[in-house]
Amino acid sequence: MPGTTASAATHETRETPISAPVILAVSTVIFALRPNETGPATVWIPLVRRIREPFEGLWAIPGGALRADEDLASAARRTLEETSGLTPRYLEQLYAFGSVDRAPGTRVVSIVYWALVRSEEAAKATESENVRWFSTDELPTLAFDHNEIVAYALWRLRTKMEYSRIAHAFLGDTFTLAQLREVHEAVLQRPLDPANFRRMIEASKTVVDTGQRVTGTRHRPPRLYRYDSSIDLADVGPLSSI
């Protein structure tokens, strides 16, 4: 950073700046829910197969080099769109990974984002020989340090799901409370009390009743809710304005 140069110059013998062969990349862990044939829905992520060394043939999270004229989040959105054709409903920076030895031969610093996409959109997303969806609890060995990155992203998703209201990013414009609860249950991997969940959501004031109901079920028709967009999805402090 700029402040750096000045301070270093002030306090130490200035070394010839190594025109650092550091490559800056932006990658994204993309989460979607997939309804499971047996049992509840689970969390899935799309991965891309490496077609060159290092780690040729292994799967990796999608990403790409940062272009000079785009913001970090823009780069995340772009590479996300390029690989999977998806548009995220939620996107947040996860962490910058920069261990010296994380990429054999080269020095790569990856600024990683995590994203949530709608289940319905994920279902029709691009999938090919080199792009495939994986269940997060059945991941193969990934390229680089991507297993650790996914593990951390999953931890953040679960942690944030408990104190924030991001679950509806997996859903369509309107949804029932049961659907919203299924999202929480899939991410947290434990059943939630429907009664208490209802009160918890109502207390948060993040959803509004559309007045509509879902008919055709063989039980009492549930209300349809819409997310109240006047309230921020997640609390990121003063960062939201930057």
Partner DNA sequence: GCAAAAGTGTTATTCTTACACCCATGA
Partner DNA sequence: TCATGGGTGTAAGAATAACACTTTTGC
Which residues of this protein are in contact with DNA, per CB under 7 A? 176-178, 193-196, 198-200, 213, 215-223
Tell me the C-alpha distance between 93 and 214, whole Å. Answer: 36
- Torsion sign over Cα 83, 166, 148, 240: positive
C-beta of 145: minimal distance to a second copy in Å? Answer: 7
DSSP string, 98-161: --TTSSTTSEEEEEEEEEE--HHHHHTS--BTTEEEEETTS--PBSTTHHHHHHHHHHHHHHHH
- Closer to DNA by CB, 64 or 222: give it: 222
- Closer to DNA by CB, 60 or 177: give it: 177
Q: Under 8 Å CB-to-CB from 146, ≥6 apart: which residues?
A: 59, 60, 61
Query: Judged by CB under 8 A, which stretch of 79-87, 176-184, 201-209, 225-233 contacts a second copy?
Result: 79-87
Contact partner at residue 5 from a second copy, DNA, none, CB < 5 to 8 Å by partner kind: a second copy
Instruction: Tell me: does residue 145 bind a second copy (CB under 8 A).
Output: yes
Query: Judged by CB under 8 A, which stretch of 95-103, 117-125, 165-173, 189-197 contacts a second copy?
Result: 95-103
Tell me the C-alpha distance between 155 and 44, whole Å. Answer: 14
C-beta of 51: minimal distance to a second copy in Å? Answer: 5
Q: Under 8 Å CB-to-CB from 152, ≥6 apart: which residues?
A: 94, 95
- Closer to DNA by CB, 52 or 218: give it: 218
- Closer to a second copy by CB, 44 or 175: give it: 44
Contact partner at residue 152 from DNA, a second copy, none, CB < 5 to 8 Å by partner kind: a second copy
Contact partner at residue 223 from DNA, a second copy, none, CB < 5 to 8 Å by partner kind: DNA
The residues in 208-237 that bind a second copy, with binding defined as CB under 8 A, are: 237
Q: At which residue do the structure tokens 């799309």 appear?
A: 46
From residue 102, alpha-carbon distances to 54, 71, 107 in Å are 11, 24, 8
Contact partner at residue 190 from a second copy, DNA, none, CB < 5 to 8 Å by partner kind: none
